[in-house]
């Protein structure tokens, strides 16, 4: 009898369960399909706490066609990235992603899905500040600039506001601002996550709390 194909939604649901069950609840937010670089790419699961981490899923049914583009975008913004792959993709992944990306294999053991860590994710050495602040909405950037004491020149296009913010803050300050803003954002719904049996459920991005295994040295 052949082994059932692991689908994206099965891996995604199990990964969410792992994130919840393996760690204490805290001031942490998990977001499904977070758009990056103005929607240029979407990370499957983003975790916001003391860092901004991402998990990209490549199931057996997926190809690696989009991976080079995803690597380029994710590496501009995320502090840590882990790619979760099924066995058919495993050999190709190590050469396809940066050395600082983590690699986790999704396997079927006695009919149950399990994760095996192949390589631990390391800190991103080259975050691009301008790409990072594009996670912020225009009114959020205006509020931050006002808080920093800017009272003039705040009526321009959002690209100019992003640029002004990048010039006004260090990278570490920007990272803290972005994480804090995402966690406090109101009226923002994450997309439904599908469970393995087809049921769906939805999280409010302001009130749902999850924990990543990453340390939280700059928790806000």
Name the DSSP letter for residue 187.
S
Is residue 56 classed as helix, strand or coil in its secondary structure? strand
Q: Are 86 and 6 in contact (CB under 8 A)?
A: yes
* Contact (Cβ atoms closer than 8 angstroms) between residue 121 and residue 80: yes
In the chain, the DSSP E strands lie at: 29-36, 41-48, 52-58, 80-86, 102-109, 112-119, 193-194, 200-201
Identify the CA nearest to 132 among candidates 83, 98, 182. Answer: 182
pTM of the model: 0.82
User: Domains plus CATH for the chain?
Assistant: 8-126+197-201 (3.40.1350), 129-183 (no CATH)
Query: From first to last of its 220 residues, what are the pLDDT tens digits of the chain?
Result: 445 567 788 898 889 888 877 655 567 888 889 999 998 899 999 999 889 999 999 988 888 999 999 999 999 999 999 999 988 888 899 889 999 999 999 888 777 888 999 999 999 999 999 999 999 999 999 999 999 998 776 777 889 999 999 999 999 999 999 999 998 887 664 434 323 333 332 333 333 333 333 333 333 3
């Amino acid at each position: 009898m052949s082994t059932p194909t692991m689908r994206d939604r099965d891996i995604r649901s199990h990964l969410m369960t792992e994130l919840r069950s393996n760690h204490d609840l805290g001031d942490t937010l998990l977001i499904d399909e977070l758009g990056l670089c103005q929607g240029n790419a979407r990370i499957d699961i983003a975790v916001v706490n003391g860092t901004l981490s991402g998990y990209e899923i490549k199931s057996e049914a997926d190809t690696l066609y989009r991976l080079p583009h995803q690597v380029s975008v994710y590496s501009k913004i995320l502090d840590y990235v882990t790619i979760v792959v099924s066995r058919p993709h495993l050999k190709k992944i190590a050469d396809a992603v940066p050395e600082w990306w983590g690699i986790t294999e999704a396997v079927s053991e006695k009919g149950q899905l399990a994760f095996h860590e192949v390589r631990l994710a390391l800190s991103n050495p080259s975050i691009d500040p301008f790409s990072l602040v594009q996670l912020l909405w225009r009114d959020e950037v205006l509020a931050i600039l006002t808080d920093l004491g800017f009272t003039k020149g705040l009526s321009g296009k959002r690209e100019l506001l992003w640029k002004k913010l990048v010039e006004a803050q260090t990278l570490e300050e920007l990272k803290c601002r972005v994480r804090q803003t995402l966690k406090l954002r109101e009226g923002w719904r994450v997309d439904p996550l599908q469970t393995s049996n087809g049921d769906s459920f939805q999280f409010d991005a302001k009130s749902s709390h999850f924990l990543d295994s990453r340390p939280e040295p700059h928790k806000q």
